Amino acid sequence: FPPDALTLLAQKRELHAQLEREEMEKHELLAQINALVGEIAQLRANANEMEEAGELSTELEQLKRDFAKKEAELQRTKAEGEEAQRRQRMDRLERERVEEELRERDELLQELTETTTN
């Protein structure tokens, strides 16, 4: 081979080796890019999960407040019901007392009527 041909062959081998190194670097960079894309996807998923957790926490707090309001309302209603039952008992007792007084009065009136007619 002429010296120029040997030089060209050496340059060709060197360029071929350089091309292989660059191909390897390209594959490594693609692998790194893919890994970073995966990490970004995971970070986004984590961010979405954290956002969802925050929303759920807010919703939970609202539900707790709603529950406390309903519980207070239930206690008020229960107390009102107990008060209504107490008033009904008092009214019934008062009615029974008045009825008893009226019976006694009727009996006395009847006795008086019988006594005066005899």
Looking at residue 102, what is its pLDDT?
A: 98
Looking at residue 1, what is its pLDDT?
A: 66
* Residues 99/107, Cβ–Cβ less than 8 Å: no
Provide the whole-model pTM.
Answer: 0.53
Q: pLDDT tens for residues 3-18?
A: 898 999 999 999 999 9
Where b means 16+ CB within 10 Å and e means fewer, 21-57 reads eeeeeeeeeeeeeeeeeeeeeeeeeeeeeeeeeeeee
Looking at residue 2, what is its pLDDT?
A: 73
Euclidean distance between CA atoms 39 and 27, whole angstroms? 18
Looking at residue 116, what is its pLDDT?
A: 85
How high does pLDDT run on average in the chain? Answer: 95
Q: Would you kindly state where each structural domain of the chain is located, as residue ranges?
A: 1-86
Q: Which residues of the chain have pLDDT under 70?
A: 1, 118
Q: pLDDT tens for residues 19-28?
A: 999 999 999 9
Pick from 24, 47, 43: nearest CA to 32:
24
